[in-house]
Amino acid sequence: MPRYVMAGALGLVLHSGHAVWMAPEPGFCPASGHETCPRLIPGAPFKAKREELSVKKSWYQFNKLCLAVSILALLLLQGCSSSTPRPPVAKDQISPQQEYDYLIGPGDTVEIFVWSNPELTVTVPVRPDGKITTRLVEGIEASGKTPAQLARDIEKAYSEYVKNAVVSVIVNGFVGVPYQQVRVVGEAAKPLSIPFRKHMTLLDLMIEVGGLTDYADGNNAVLIRNFEGKQQTFTVRLDDLVRGGDITANIALWPGDIIIIPESWF
């Protein structure tokens, strides 16, 4: 049986189950009445049926892939919707009494003033190990103490060298102990930890970190708080506060608060 390939540019026909091209040949064709008589050019077969099956197979595989992706997306959305929702901040914690004493931490700068002994007055940093060194005493523990507590400890250490020493401690650079810092992680413009300030609010914190990123899911942000000896988790509405201007979403913060801002799925 003759086998044919594409040739010429007149048209595509089927011959013996194969697709072939008809090529023009000069002269008159009695069968068709045309000026030129189409002829078939023999050669390798152009297998139209195989190509058709290949296209159908590819389309079937594509449909399977789309179905798998759709099922996966449905499962993910179902998983997100079935997670236990976190409650909003309790009413007694929206504006809690923020009475607290600042504790000196590593990285702070303290000025030690000794009354009537200007040569002993010095400004020193608190080392990473939480200790300080003065002109008379080395390795005094400072981290975790109030300025007044540290002053009394220095007076006691100086008692061997100075009679009735009167010491005052002034904190100049504030870092604080980690458990009194407020931390922001996730989709904030500038995630960071900052020392807690009395009367500090969620809006103040958002100003410090530069707001939210374009991909932040602010209304699903999480607040982790230790309140009265218990760790609790709440949902805060950062989108409503920062982007919507809803001041009712603003709450008072507490030393040690942690804000986690997730990334939006869409």
What is 109-173's CATH number, 3.30.1950.10, 2.70.70.10, 1.10.3720.10, 3.40.50.720?
3.30.1950.10
When pLDDT is cut at 50, 70 and 90, the band that residue 62 belongs to is low
Q: Which of 239, 237, 234 is nearest to 257 (CA)?
A: 234
Q: Which of 74, 37, 162, 70 is nearest to 112 (CA)?
A: 162
pLDDT tens digits, 70-87? 566 555 554 444 345 666
pLDDT tens digits, 127-137? 999 999 999 99
Residue 192 DSSP symbol: E
State how far the Cα of 141 lies from the Cα of 126, in Å rounded to an integer.
9
Domain boundaries, the chain: 11-46, 91-99+178-261, 109-173
State how far the Cα of 100 lies from the Cα of 182, in Å rounded to an integer.
14
pLDDT tens digits, 141-163? 999 999 999 999 999 999 999 99
Q: Which of 103, 108, 95, 118 is nearest to 199 (CA)?
A: 95
For the chain, what is the total number of helices (H) and then of strands (E)?
A: 5, 13
pLDDT tens digits, 17-26? 444 444 444 5
When pLDDT is cut at 50, 70 and 90, the band that residue 226 belongs to is confident
State how far the Cα of 223 lies from the Cα of 180, in Å rounded to an integer.
15
Higher per-residue confidence, 68 vs 233: 233
pLDDT of 7 above 50: no
- Is the pTM higher than 0.85? The answer reads no
CATH superfamily of the domain spanning 91-99+178-261: Outer membrane lipoprotein wza domain like (3.10.560.10)
